[in-house]
Structure 1
Amino acid sequence: MEYELVIGLEVHVELSTKTKMYCGCSTEFGGEPNSHVCPICLALPGALPRINKKVIEYTIKSGIALNCSINKKSRMDRKNYFYPDCPKNYQITQHRFPLCSDGYIEVENSEGEKKKIGIERIHMEEDAAKLIHTKAGTLINYNRAGVPLIEVVSKPDIRTPEESTCYLQKLKNILRSIGVSNCKMEQGSLRCDGNISIRPKGSRKFGVKVEIKNVNSFKALEKAFEYEYLRQVRAVESGEKIVQETRRWNESKNRTEVMRAKEQARDYRYFPEGDLTAINISNEWIDKIRKTIPELPYDKVERFIKEYNVSKHDAEVLILNMRAADFFEKTAKLSRNPKAAFNWIMGDISRLMNEKSVSLSKLKFKPEDLVSLIRFIDSGMISNNIGTEIIEEMFVSGAKPEEIIEKRNFLQNSSEDEILKIIKKVMKDNPKPLEDYKNGKKRAIKFMIGLVMKETKGKANPKIVNDLVNREFNKN
Structure 2
Amino acid sequence: MADTLMDFDKALELFEPVLGFEVHVELNTETKMFSSAPNPAHESNHGAAPNTLVAPVDMGLPGAMPVVNQKAVESAIKLGLALGCSIEKHSTFARKNYFYPDLGKNYQISQKDDPIAYEGSVEVELADGRLIAIPIERAHMEEDAGKLTHVGGATGRIQGAEYSLVDYNRAGVPLVEIVTHMIEGAEHDAPEIAKAYVGTIRDIAKALGISEARMERGNLRCDANVSLRRRGSDQLGTRTETKNVNSMRSVERAVRYEIQRQAAILEAGGTITQETRHWHEDTGRTSAGRPKSDADDYRYFPEPDLVPVEPSDELIERLRGELPEAPVTRRRRLKAEWGFTDLEFQDVNNGGLVDQVEATIAAGATPASARKWWTGEITRLANAQDADAAELVSPEHVAALQGLVDAGTLTDKLARQVLEGVIAGEGSPQEVVDARGLAVVSDDGALIAAIDEALTSQPDVLAKIKDGKVQAAGAIIGAVMKAMKGQADAARVRELILERAAAN
Deviation, structure 1 residue 142: 2.9
The 1-side partners of 2:231 and 2:39 are apart by: 46
Closer, same or farther: CA 109–147 of 1 in aligned 2, 3 Å: same
The 2-side partners of 1:80 and 1:305 are apart by: 48
Aligned to 1:338: 367
Aligned to 1:170: 200
Deviation, structure 1 residue 100: 1.7
Q: Deviations over 1:162-193 (max 9, x none)?
A: 22122212322332343222233343332221
1:6 paired with 2:18, answer: yes
Aligned to 1:270: 300
Contact 1:328 1:342 in 2 (8 A): no
Contact 1:2 1:201 in 2 (8 A): yes
The alignment partner of 2:112 has SS state of: coil
Q: Deviations over 1:263-316 (max 9, x none)?
A: 333622333222211111123222333444444554443233222223313542
Contact 1:130 1:140 in 2 (8 A): yes
Deviation, structure 1 residue 7: 1.4
Deviation, structure 1 residue 205: 4.1
Q: What letter corresponds to residue 329 of structure 1 in structure 2? A: I
The 1-side partners of 2:436 and 2:353 are apart by: 37
| One of 215, 219, 229 as aligned partner of 2:259 | 229
Deviation, structure 1 residue 356: 12
1:125 paired with 2:142, answer: yes
Tell me the TM-score normalized by structure 2.
Answer: 0.77
Larger mean CA deviation between 32-41 and 194-203 belongs to 32-41
Contact 1:195 1:210 in 2 (8 A): yes
Q: What letter corresponds to residue 193 of structure 1 in structure 2? A: D
Aligned to 1:302: 332
Closer, same or farther: CA 356–84 of 1 in aligned 2, 3 Å: closer
Closer, same or farther: CA 474–288 of 1 in aligned 2, 3 Å: farther
Q: What does 1:74-223 align with in structure 2 at a 5 Å threshold?
A: 74-131=91-148, 132=150, 133=158, 135-157=161-183, 158-159=186-187, 160-201=190-231, 203-223=233-253
The alignment partner of 1:269 has SS state of: coil
The 1-side partners of 2:289 and 2:402 are apart by: 57
The 2-side partners of 1:76 and 1:474 are apart by: 87
The alignment partner of 2:177 has SS state of: strand
Provide structure 2 residue ranges, at least 5 long, that are not aligned to the other structure. Answer: 1-12, 41-45, 151-157
The 2-side partners of 1:36 and 1:297 are apart by: 33
The 2-side partners of 1:360 and 1:197 are apart by: 37
Q: What letter corresponds to residue 346 of structure 2 in structure 1? A: H
Deviation, structure 1 residue 125: 0.9
1:248 paired with 2:278, answer: yes
Deviation, structure 1 residue 442: 8.4
The alignment partner of 1:239 has SS state of: coil
Aligned to 1:462: 490
Aligned to 2:39: 27
The alignment partner of 2:318 has SS state of: helix
Q: Deviations over 1:222-272 (max 9, x none)?
A: 343333223322332233333433333355665433333213336223332
The 1-side partners of 2:432 and 2:292 are apart by: 67
Closer, same or farther: CA 422–71 of 1 in aligned 2, 3 Å: same
Deviation, structure 1 residue 475: 11
1:329 paired with 2:335, answer: no
The alignment partner of 2:95 has SS state of: strand
Aligned to 1:447: 475
Deviation, structure 1 residue 10: 0.9
Larger mean CA deviation between 243-252 and 208-217 belongs to 243-252
Q: CA RMSD in A?
A: 4.1
Q: Deviations over 1:96-130 (max 9, x none)?
A: 22112233333333444332222221111111233
Deviation, structure 1 residue 63: 1.9
Provide structure 1 residue ranges, at least 5 long, that are not aligned to the other structure. Answer: none
Closer, same or farther: CA 344–464 of 1 in aligned 2, 3 Å: same
Identity fraction in percent: 37
Deviation, structure 1 residue 431: 3.0
Closer, same or farther: CA 225–408 of 1 in aligned 2, 3 Å: closer
Aligned to 1:430: 458
The 2-side partners of 1:48 and 1:346 are apart by: 50
The 1-side partners of 2:271 and 2:450 are apart by: 83
Contact 1:174 1:296 in 2 (8 A): yes
The 2-side partners of 1:242 and 1:202 are apart by: 19
Deviation, structure 1 residue 151: 0.8
Contact 1:191 1:215 in 2 (8 A): yes
Q: What letter corresponds to residue 103 of structure 2 in structure 1? A: C
| One of 239, 244, 258 as aligned partner of 2:288 | 258
